[in-house]
Amino acid sequence: MAEITVTEHLLLHQKQSPHATEQFTGLLYDLILSGKTIARRINKAGLLDLLGGTGEINVQGENVQKMDEIANRILTYRMERCGALCAMSSEENAELVRIKPEFPRGDYILIFDPLDGSSNIDVNINVGTLFSILHRPEGKRGEVSLEEVLQPGHNQAAAGYILYGPSTMFVFSTGQGVHGFTLDPGVGEFLLSHPNMRIPEQGKIYSVNEGYRKNWSAATCEAVDWFHNCETQDGTPYSSRYVGALVADFHRTLIYGGIFMYPADIKRPEGKLRLMCEAAPLAFLAEQAGGRASDGRGRIMERKPECLHSRTPLFIGSSNDVAAVEKIYAQHRHAQTDLIFTGAL
Measured from the CB atom, the residue of 133 and 248 that comes closer to ligand P6P is 248
HEC profile of the chain: CCCCEHHHHHHHCCCCCCCCCHHHHHHHHHHHHHHHHHHHHHHHHCCCCCCCEEEEECCCCCEEEHHHHHHHHHHHHHHCCCCCEEEEEECCCCCCEECCCCCCCCCEEEEEEEEECHHHHHHCCCEEEEEEEEECCCCCCCCCCHHHHCCCHHHCCEEEEEEECCCEEEEEECCCCCEEEEEECCCCEEEEEECCCCCCCCCCEEECCHHHHHHCEHHHHHHHHHHHHCECCCCCECEECCCCCHHHHHHHHHHHCCEEEECCCCCCCCCCCEHHHHHHHHHHHHHHCCCEEECCCCEHHHCCCCCCCCECCEEEECHHHHHHHHHHHHHHHHCCCCCCECCCC
- Contacting ligand P6P (CB under 6 A), which of 245, 261, 283, 285? 245
Piece of 194-202, 241-249, 325-333, 334-342 that binds ligand P6P (CB under 6 A): 241-249
Kindly state the smallest distance separating residue 337's Cβ from ligand P6P, in Å: 25
- Contacting ligand P6P (CB under 6 A), which of 43, 124, 196, 209? 209
Q: Is residue 148 marked as binding? A: no
Q: Is residue 278 marked as binding? A: yes
Q: Is residue 118 marked as binding? A: yes
Can you tell me the distance from the alpha carbon of 257 to that of 238, in angstroms, rounded to the nearest whole number?
Answer: 11
Kindly state the smallest distance separating residue 243's Cβ from ligand P6P, in Å: 8
> Does residue 290 belong to the site contacting ligand P6P (CB under 6 A)?
no
Kindly state the smallest distance separating residue 165's Cβ from ligand P6P, in Å: 13
Binding mask 136-175 for ligand P6P (x = CB under 6 A): ----------------------------------------
Piece of 97-105, 175-183, 240-248, 319-327 that binds ligand P6P (CB under 6 A): 240-248
Piece of 2-10, 131-139, 238-246, 293-301 that binds ligand P6P (CB under 6 A): 238-246
Kindly state the smallest distance separating residue 109's Cβ from ligand P6P, in Å: 22
- Contacting ligand P6P (CB under 6 A), which of 116, 189, 326, 338? 116
Kindly state the smallest distance separating residue 168's Cβ from ligand P6P, in Å: 17
Q: Is residue 270 marked as binding? A: no
Piece of 161-169, 244-252, 285-293, 326-334 that binds ligand P6P (CB under 6 A): 244-252
Q: Is residue 338 marked as binding? A: no
Can you tell me the distance from the alpha carbon of 39 to that of 170, in angstroms, rounded to the nearest whole number?
Answer: 11
Q: Is residue 209 marked as binding? A: yes
> Which residues have C-beta within 8 Å of that of residue 319, sequence separation ≥ 6?
199, 201, 202, 290, 291, 292
> Does residue 246 belong to the site contacting ligand P6P (CB under 6 A)?
yes
Q: What are phi and psi of 68, to 5 degrees?
A: -55, -50
# binding residues, ligand P6P (CB under 6 A): 8
What is the identity of the amino acid at 75?
A: L
Measured from the CB atom, the residue of 219 and 246 that comes closer to ligand P6P is 246
Measured from the CB atom, the residue of 93 and 232 that comes closer to ligand P6P is 93
Burial class for 329, CB neighbours closer than 10 Å (0-12, 13-18, 19+): buried
Piece of 23-31, 32-40, 214-222, 245-253 that binds ligand P6P (CB under 6 A): 245-253
Q: What are phi and psi of 47, to 5 degrees?
A: -85, -25
> Does residue 117 belong to the site contacting ligand P6P (CB under 6 A)?
yes
Binding-site annotation: residue ranges for Mg(2+) = 91, 113, 115-116, 278
Residues that bind ligand P6P (CB under 6 A): 116-117, 209, 244-246, 249, 272
Binding site for substrate, residues?
116-119, 209, 242, 272
